[in-house]
Structure 1
């Protein structure tokens, strides 16, 4: 009976058994795609994953940030042109897409909501000001 309860708990918690994605796995999954992300049931943003570990992020408001990603200490870290301070996530591949935990913190998570048919819509640089 104890074995059955332990097995049920294990099967009910697939994230515990799951290994974080490596940089190579993340690159193979994302390159050439535009993935959309949600947080707390709301649309959060999208990211174009370009060759050479380059990315373009948008909160889907027409403003885009170019950056790069790299693997460090088991996390996937992103640095963007507006702020080179890296933002690091632990990514997992699930049956429903990617799930990412900010600095490995499961209380701060993004999840993939789908793949866009087109690259992100990005407005040109602001003129004037």
Structure 2
């Protein structure tokens, strides 16, 4: 594929995302809003619950998907993204997201051109996940 074709393909992939009014926010602003809290993430636009994440610190979280156990993750913030490297990631590659606001709703978009998955934050609570504790490193 030539560079010109690659740019056109990238533009077509991103077109639905840029057509909507979005305001990117920094990973630090996102983490400040959720630190010490538990967040429920829902698929956008279906509304299905994807999972719940408790943000234990700016660098550590615990994730629980529907019907599965708890997994701890190390959080990093490279290049305006929030990245999670979970204990069960066999490949050792973090999953990264771009946080943004859309119509006053807090959302995240998977930071890859191969997948345009978007999740909406539907609730932020003080309730913990009651997961087994881990050493905070």
TM norm. shorter chain > 0.5? yes
Q: Based on CA coordinates, which of the two structures has the bigger radius of gyration? A: 1
Question: How many angstroms does 1:66 deviate by?
Answer: 0.5
| Structure 1: 4+ residue segments shifted above 4 A | none
Q: Determine helix, strand or coil for the equivalent of 1:14.
A: coil
Alignment length, in residue pairs? 109
More strand by share: 1
Match of 1:116 among 96, 107, 125: 125
Where do 5+ consecutive residues of structure 1 fail to align? 1-11, 125-129
TM-score, normalised on structure 1?
Answer: 0.72
Instruction: Provide the aligned C-alpha RMSD in A.
Output: 2.3
Change (3 A) 1:117 1:82: same
1:22/1:71 contact within 8 Å kept: no
- For 1:63-99, what per-residue CA distance to the aligned partner results, in whole angstroms no more than 9, with x for missing partners? 1000111111221111011113100000113423x21
TM-score, normalised on structure 2?
Answer: 0.69
1:70/1:78 contact within 8 Å kept: yes
